[in-house]
Amino acid sequence: MTDAPEITQPTNVLADAGDTPPPTKEEPDAPAGATPEAEAQTPDVKAQDAAPPTYSDFTLPDGVEVDSETLSEARTLLGEMKLPQEQAQRLVDFYAGKIRQFGATQMESWVRLNEKWVGDFKADKEIGGERVEETVAAATRAMERFGTPGLREALIMTGAGNHPEVIRFVARVGRATTEDRFVVAAGASAGGTRSAAEVLYPAQRGEN
């Protein structure tokens, strides 16, 4: 009887994966010059590298002020980046320059806005044109009578003193109080000169 031919099982990558011993990994040769003493010094060197640098006071350009808290945060951040003093100063200069540029841009925008308000005031049909001097005189009377130093400061700081609607309102107060004085002088009112609230809101007189 003829022997049956031997059948070789095909290779199964997944099934045979566990039968193949993993390749051995050769240890790399130690770098030339490495000694036990050098290896022992490595932690100290790393510790020195991890220490953040200490910075002296940074120089700020004239006209730029940065609060101490911001400077402290900047020192911490620059220290984490381990930048030397010269490079850290360059970043501070860049930041200070941006602050100055931003301030100049804001001031330029504020000036342009005030110029627009003044132009709108002069072009207004009610309070501008030929009535500019009359409007300013009436507004001046109102400010002298009812204004306070705090109000004047606010109008200047915000630029609101140039806004046509603010000028219109204050000028109307000035005209109203002037007209009311003429009425009082003619004997139409025996109660004396009215208050600013009574002039501005006559419908509320006698209430309460």
pLDDT of residue 186: 46
- Report the range out of 58-62, 67-71, 135-139 with the highest average pLDDT: 135-139
Q: Give the residue with greater pLDDT, 63 vs 28.
A: 63
Q: Give the residue with greater pLDDT, 18 vs 149.
A: 149
Q: Give the residue with greater pLDDT, 21 vs 153.
A: 153
Tell me: pLDDT of 52 over 90. no
CB-CB contact of 168 with 124 (8 Å): yes
- Sign of the CA dihedral with 132 first, then 138, 144, and 148 last: negative
Q: Average per-residue pLDDT in the chain?
A: 77
- Residue 64 confidence class, pLDDT cut points 50, 70, 90: confident
What is the pLDDT averaged over residues 35-52?
Answer: 57
pLDDT of residue 38: 53
Gap between the terminal Cα atoms of the chain: 133
pLDDT of residue 199: 46
**Joined tokens for residue 73:** 């945060």
| Boundaries of every domain in the chain | 59-112, 124-203
What is the pLDDT averaged over residues 103-125?
Answer: 96
pLDDT of residue 178: 78
User: Cα torsion for 97, 98, 99, 102, to the nearest 10°?
Assistant: 130
pLDDT of residue 51: 77
Q: How wide is the angle at C-alpha 12 spanned by C-alphas 11 and 18, nearest 5°?
A: 110
pLDDT tens, residue by residue, 129-180: 999 999 999 999 999 999 999 999 999 999 999 999 999 999 999 999 876 6
pLDDT of residue 165: 97
Q: Give the residue with greater pLDDT, 19 vs 54.
A: 54
